[in-house]
Amino acid sequence: MRILFVEDSVDQATAVVARLRRSGYAVDWAKDGEHADEFFQQGVYDVVLLDLILPKVDGEVFLGRLRARNSTVPVLVMTARGGLDEKIRILDIGADDYVVKPFDLSEIEARIRALLRRPQGRNSSAMTIGNLVFDLSRRRVEIDGHHVPIGQREFRLLELFLGNLDRILAKDTILDHLFSFDEPAAPNAIELYVSRLRKKLTGTTVEIKTIWGEGYIAEVHEQT
């Protein structure tokens, strides 16, 4: 999953970006609202983490522009402004969640997980499909009750497929969700990750098929 983090504090951005990348997220960091606008027009994002007090274009203006474009990307506002009236106003403008600084990074990750599962209509971080258990909060995959070691990028790829069952995902779409601008992917990266993931899903009800000339599709079948 790909995240746009908009924050002018270098120290805070360094800590948050490092933590999220260790968890397998692709993260682009914008230092101000103007920079964020440029990123957003070039990339595809699953979540935006947004500070309000920014140089050039502040976070409130950036948020307003997003919603004026009819963008439905979830936005988590992270700011030192903690007044109730302020929270209500920002939520009414279009923020999906609001957290006051200072915050714990584990809480930020939990809020991101909650925002990511809303479009899928899920109320839990754990998903069970036949003998496959996918647990987003624990970053754990189990088959027949046994833990399956899986790399962070493969985990995020599985998350993307499970959130788009029965939909064809083009390679470019997968690239957009898994890699940030400063983490370019090798030409055969998607084929490699899909191949690894298929092997680890052997014996489950989830099958990843190649649709030649279009991309990949994940489907659920009855176990034989």
pLDDT value for 207 = 92
d(CA 59, CA 33): 6
The b-or-e profile of 2-41 (16+ CB within 10 A means b, else e) is bbbbbbbeeebbeebbeebeebbbbbbbbbbbebbbebbe
Count of CB atoms within 10 A of residue 169's CB? 22
pLDDT value for 122 = 59
Which pLDDT band, with edges at 50, 70 and 90, does 80 fall under? confident
pLDDT value for 186 = 77
Alpha carbon of 79 to those of 39, 43, 66, 71, 143: distances in Å? 21, 24, 18, 21, 40
Alpha carbon of 156 to those of 93, 159, 220: distances in Å? 30, 5, 18
What are the pLDDT digits (tens) for 166-220? Answer: 999 999 899 889 888 887 777 788 999 999 999 999 889 899 999 998 999 999 9
Cis peptide before 102 (omega within 30 of 0): yes
Alpha carbon of 222 to those of 40, 131, 162, 165: distances in Å? 40, 10, 16, 15
CATH number assigned to the domain covering 2-119: 3.40.50.2300
What are the pLDDT digits (tens) for 17-75? Answer: 999 998 889 999 999 989 899 988 888 899 999 999 898 888 999 999 999 989 899 99
Give span(s): CATH 1.10.10.10, the chain.
126-220
User: For residue 31, what is the DSSP state?
Assistant: S
CATH number assigned to the domain covering 126-220: 1.10.10.10
User: For residue 133, what is the DSSP state?
Assistant: E
Give span(s): CATH 3.40.50.2300, the chain.
2-119
What are the pLDDT digits (tens) for 108-135? Answer: 999 998 898 876 655 567 888 888 999 8
As beta bridge partners, residue 98 has 77
As beta bridge partners, residue 88 has none
d(CA 158, CA 141): 10
pLDDT value for 180 = 87
Q: Is the pLDDT of residue 158 over 90?
A: yes
Q: Is the pLDDT of residue 223 over 80?
A: no
Which pLDDT band, with edges at 50, 70 and 90, does 11 fall under? very high
- Report the amino acid identity of residue 76: L
Rg (CA), the chain: 18
